[in-house]
Chain A
């Protein structure tokens, strides 16, 4: 059998990451690292695997407090991907904070915040759904976190501000430490890779200056990771732009502003923002730049029938008592199809001298509600969701009863029909044993 190459081994190993039980992804990665024995090779494949894991498992991201917005969380998922972004430029929506961010799936760090604003109509409905869902989550999920995202394209941000003073805000970009529910993965495991990531992250900042109408989050560097990230020369440049509204308007009118030293030259080439950029860091963020730096071609995209996605995740990790658990629910509201569809997923891992796992998946759907007096559409939707989830939890209790009483018993009885243990002295076939004594004698 031909030996596998390092890359092939890393690929095989990384595939196992997505099978991690709730709260144990770091333990799984550490085991895979020991088995593969080549962190650099593993990192190439672990990144995409962790991205998939974080999106599917509704990883909770903490966002620091900003002026006018308290610290809060958002949930990562496919539905949280900012419309129009992908690949290296993929961004995620923090609907509560009205901002989008990039996410380092390996180190579980959010950074490079930019303003995010939905059109008024969508935001009103989204916010109402979110409010109802948050109240429901708070009442029924002791550790629950919820998010509501809309697939509508966000309003185009104002064009970059004509002026940026790199020195103005020397603080690193707002980066959140890992939420308490998951630990930072692979601390310092691959400095080389991390450095690359740093470049990407820091380089985006100049754009943010222009694009962001939001207040900068003056987050101090928290922990070594962030410090490392921040130290890479970037002047941050997250200064307020409120007062720069006028300049922004000018910029929108046509002039592509050469707003900063690093990306200045490329800004002027409206043709292809990707082309002339020489430095790899700039390239890697080109998809972001594309939208931000082509003021001439900017056009508000719009979906006819945006989908609203409601997600709740509740995690409990009691590793000292040998169990972890996760409850996920994901509901999509499709007004055009007049349907609300949901997916409920429960995972429990119990591992005291064994490995026992409960996995459930359940799909449910109901009709998009019609206007009734007294209760809004959004509130009706969340009320029905709560009814389905309550019915599901009730059914799970019955399932335990059924499986325990009927299936378990028909696999193996607690005692024989005689209600007595086996009389081993008389059991059939035993008479053969006497031959053994003869054979030994």
Chain B
């Protein structure tokens, strides 16, 4: 759907403003309001990944719009749609092999960075390919998504909890001995914890305090990478490095926004030291600066 569509623009604008913690119910509401845009909404709005059970492979996998067919999701471990088998799309045998390699590689990556959680990689063939370039019909195009999810549940109401969901959607175009990758990465990060501040000191006996803090949201970044492709198996390190670099970059970004930016704004809203103290300090500083200036002169 074109971005110039005013209804679609309004839907996306709204979802950029409404609380990230309510994105699932809000997307449902908007699908109800605009049934014609259901596919556009589900395809363009990043929602927390679903954890699916693969009874056959015995391993959990992640579900999103890219491996969904109706109510079922394709497992990267068994390549079948669950819980109800459907004749949803499957990658070509060649691509399925690459998909299995990537799932193996990113499983290791997940263990190294997340020390738990679930990962899934899905690939699908893109139709184009043959026509472009014309280099003997050898041009290959495919796309895929690398998914990571880790959840920390708290044992009780006062200890912190959180979740990380990352979606790395990419498109690959092979050009002879190199490949061009276009990447769009989204990380959905939710952190919760409790507060207990209360009045202290004389006269504040029996004072109580309890509360909750939620930091939630998602950030999206894009990148383009050209990498050599000596054999088709080189896709694994190419995609691996690209996703790894992007996740490192985004982790830093999330850290600065979640723990830096929102903290700064909070301290802009309320001045802990008090504005009187602050303005006295400013005046003192200005006075000192003035005197120093006079000396120089």
**Cα A351 to Cα B14 with chains together (Å):** 12
Partner of A9, one of B33, B258, B271: B33
Given contacts A12-B32, A346-B266, contact A356 B20 (CB under 8 A): yes
Which residues of chain A are near B236, meaning CB under 8 Å?
A: 424, 427, 430, 433
Query: Which one of B51-59, B80-88, B111-119, B283-291 contacts A?
Result: B111-119
Given contacts A403-B191, A411-B162, A427-B109, contact A388 B213 (CB under 8 A): no
Residue of chain A at shortest CB distance from B272: A393
B219 engages A12 (CB within 8 Å): no
A 402-441 binary contact with B (CB < 8 Å = 1; else 0)? 1110111011111111100110110111101111110110
The verdict on B293 contacting chain A, using a C-beta distance below 8 Å, is no
**Cα A78 to Cα B211 with chains together (Å):** 22
Query: Which one of B94-102, B124-132, B175-183 contacts A?
Result: B94-102
**Cα A258 to Cα B67 with chains together (Å):** 76
Which residues of chain A are near B21, meaning CB under 8 Å?
A: 357, 359
Number of interface residues of A (CB under 8 A): 102
Which residues of chain A are near B19, meaning CB under 8 Å?
A: 19, 21, 357, 359
Partner of B14, one of A35, A325, A413: A35
Q: Quick one: which of B234-254 are within 8 Å of A by CB?
A: 235-237, 240-241, 244, 247-248, 251, 254
The verdict on B155 contacting chain A, using a C-beta distance below 8 Å, is no
Partner of A360, one of B115, B214, B254, B272: B214
Q: Quick one: which of B175-223 are within 8 Å of A by CB?
A: 189, 191, 193, 195-201, 203-221
Residue of chain B at shortest CB distance from A403: B191
SS class, residues of chain B in contact with chain A: helix
Q: Quick one: which of A330-362 are within 8 Å of B by CB?
A: 344, 346, 348-351, 353-362
A429 engages B18 (CB within 8 Å): no
Question: What range describes how many residues of B lie at the interface?
Answer: 35 or more
Q: Quick one: which of A372-421 are within 8 Å of B by CB?
A: 380, 384, 387-397, 399-400, 402-404, 406-408, 410-418, 421
Which residues of chain A are near B217, meaning CB under 8 Å?
A: 350, 354-357
Rounded to whole Å, the gap between the CB of A407 and the closest CB of chain B is 5
The verdict on B50 contacting chain A, using a C-beta distance below 8 Å, is no
**Cα A412 to Cα B26 with chains together (Å):** 28
Which residues of chain B are near A143, meaning CB under 8 Å?
A: 269
Which residues of chain A are near B272, meaning CB under 8 Å?
A: 140, 390, 393-394
Partner of B266, one of A358, A387, A429: A358
The verdict on A369 contacting chain B, using a C-beta distance below 8 Å, is yes
Partner of A435, one of B22, B35, B97, B241: B97
A364 engages B207 (CB within 8 Å): yes
A-B contacts, 8 of them at CB < 8 A, read A9-B33, A142-B271, A355-B20, A357-B216, A359-B216, A387-B199, A397-B263, A424-B236
The 6 closest A-B pairs by CB, nearest first: A429-B104, A362-B211, A433-B233, A356-B217, A354-B219, A424-B237
